[in-house]
Chains A and B, each alone.
Chain A
Amino acid sequence: MLRSEFHADLQKLQDDLMNLGSMVEKATIKAIDALKTRDLVLSQKIIEEDDVIDDIRYEIEARCEDLIAKQQPLATDLRLIIAIMHIVGELERIGDYAEGVAKISLAMGDEAPLKPLIDIPRMAQKASLMTRQSLDALVQRDVDLAITVAESDDEVDALYDQIFRELVTFMIEDPRTIQRATYLLWVAHDLERIADRATNIAERVVYLVTGELSKLKEIFP
Chain B
Amino acid sequence: MTETREGLDAPTVPKLFVNEHTASDESNTVIDVNKLDVHYGTFCAVRGVSMKIKENRVTAFIGPSGCGKSTVLRCFNRMNDLIPGARVTGEINFFGQDLYAAEVDPTEMRSRVGMVFQKPNPFPKSIYDNVAFGLKVNGYTGNYPDAVERSLKRAALWGEVKDRLKENALQLSGGQQQRLCIARALAPEPEVLLMDEPASALDPISTLAIEQLINDLCKDVSIIIVTHNMQQAARVSHETAFFMVNDDRAGYLVEFDDTSKIFTNPNDERTEAYITGRFS
Which residues of chain A have a CB within 8 Å of any CB of chain B? 3, 6-7, 72-79, 210-211
- CB <8 Å contact, B275 and A75: yes
CA distance A3 to B263 in the complex (A): 17
Instruction: Determine whether B142 belongs to the interface, using a CB cutoff of 8 Å to chain A.
Output: no
Q: Is the CB of B264 within 8 A of A75?
A: yes
What residue of chain B has the Cβ atom nearest to residue A10's Cβ? B276
Contact B264 A79 (CB under 8 A): yes
- Contact residues in A for B231 (Cβ distance below 8 Å): 72
Residues B278 and A74 in contact, CB atoms below 8 Å apart: no
The docked-state distance in angstroms from the alpha carbon of A3 to that of B279 is: 11
State whether B276 touches A73 (Cβ < 8 A). Answer: yes
With A75-B265, A75-B276 given, name 10 new contacts (CB 8 A).
A7-B277, A72-B231, A73-B276, A74-B230, A74-B234, A74-B275, A74-B276, A75-B266, A75-B275, A210-B265
Asked if A211 meets B264 with Cβ closer than 8 Å, knowing A74-B230, A75-B272, the reply is: yes
Inter-subunit contact A79/B276 (CB<8 Å): no
Give the 10 A-B residue pairs with the shortest CB-CB distance, closest first. Answer: A211-B265, A3-B277, A74-B275, A77-B276, A74-B263, A75-B272, A75-B276, A72-B231, A75-B275, A74-B276
Q: Say yes or no: B277 contacts A76, CB within 8 Å.
A: no
- A3 CB, min distance to chain B CBs, angstroms: 4
Contact (Cβ within 8 A) B278 A78: no
Cβ contacts B166-178/A at 8 Å (1 or 0 each): 0000000000000
* Interface residue ranges of B60-102 to A (CB < 8 Å): none
CB distance from B279 to the nearest CB of A (A): 10
B277 touches A6 (CB 8 A): yes
- Report how far A175 CA is from B24 CA in the complex, Å: 64
The interface centre, meaning the residue of B264, B265, B266 with most chain A CB atoms within 10 A of its CB, is B265
Q: Could you say which residues of chain B place their CB within 8 Å of the CB of A6?
A: 277
A200 to chain B, nearest CB (A): 20
Known contacts: A72-B231, A74-B230, A75-B272. The answer to whether A7 contacts B263 by CB under 8 A is no
C-alpha gap A8/B234 in the complex (Å): 24
Q: Which partner residue on chain A sits nearest B263 by CB separation?
A: A74
A-B residue pairs in contact (CB < 8 Å), sample of 6: A7-B278, A72-B230, A74-B264, A75-B265, A77-B276, A211-B265
Give chain A residues whose Cβ lies under 8 Å from the Cβ of B230. 72, 74
Nearest CB of chain B from residue A69's CB, rounded to whole Å: 12
Q: Shortest distance in angstroms between A102's beta carbon and chain B's nearest beta carbon? A: 40
- Bound complex: CA A74 to CA B266 (Å): 10
Complex Cα distance, B278 from A6, in Å, reads 11
CB <8 Å contact, A78 and B277: no
A75–B277 touching, CB < 8 Å: no
Q: Which residues of B contact A7 (CB under 8 A)?
A: 277-278
Residues of A within 8 A of B234 (CB): 74
Closest to A207 in B: B265
Please, which residue of chain B has its CB at the minimum distance from the CB of A3? B277
Interface members, chain B 222-280 (any A CB < 8 Å)? 230-231, 234, 263-266, 271-272, 275-278
A82 to chain B, nearest CB (A): 9
Contacts of A3 in B (CB 8 A): 277-278
Contacts of A210 in B (CB 8 A): 265
Which residues of chain A are near B271, meaning CB under 8 Å?
75
A79 pairs with B265, CB closer than 8 A: yes
Q: How far is the CB of A72 from chain B (nearest CB, A)?
A: 5
Q: B128 to chain A: closest CB distance in Å? A: 40
- Residues from chain A with Cβ under 8 Å of B276 in the complex: 73-77
Across-interface contacts of A73 in B (CB, < 8 A): 276
A74 to B265, CA, bound (A): 8
**A residues in contact with B272, CB < 8 Å:** 75-76
A77 contacts across to B, CB distance below 8 A: 276
Q: Provide the residues of chain B in CB contact with A211, threshold 8 Å.
A: 264-265
- Identity of the chain B residue whose Cβ is nearest the Cβ of A209 in the assembled complex: B265
Q: How far is the CB of B62 from chain A (nearest CB, A)?
A: 11
Q: Give the distance to chain B from A206, nearest Cβ to Cβ, in Å.
A: 12
Report the Cα distance A79→B272, complex, angstroms: 12
Q: How far is the CA of A52 from the CA of B266 in the complex (A)?
A: 38
A37 to B214, CA, bound (A): 69
